[in-house]
Amino acid sequence: MPYNSHKDLPNSVQNALPPKAQSIYLAAFNSAWDEYKDPEDRRGHQSREEVAHKVAWSAVKQKYKKNDNGMWCENV
């Protein structure tokens, strides 16, 4: 279930991340969705969706971090 736009992302992502970070999440999720379509490409018994979400969050965390107020902001 790849995402077409920010409005298609889960509410937890939309409500937590700024728009640029949502774009990173969307692109990484969609890429991982394609890359890990075959179960043998995934570790353990994780679903394709679980893996894609993990990859997406990892991509966001490379450029964003939570500040002391719990808001996601760009790493500087």
- 3-state SS, the chain, equals CCCCCHHHCCHHHHHHCCHHHHHHHHHHHHHHHHHCCCHHHCCCCCCHHHHHHHHHHHHHHHHEEECCCCCEEECC
Q: What is the pLDDT of residues 12-24, one digit of tens each?
A: 999 999 999 999 9
43 pLDDT band (50/70/90 cuts)?
Answer: confident
- Which CATH number applies to 11-74? 1.10.1740.70
Whether pTM > 0.85 for this model: the answer is: yes
Distance separating alpha carbons of residues 28 and 12, to the nearest angstrom: 16
- 3 vs 76, more confident: 3
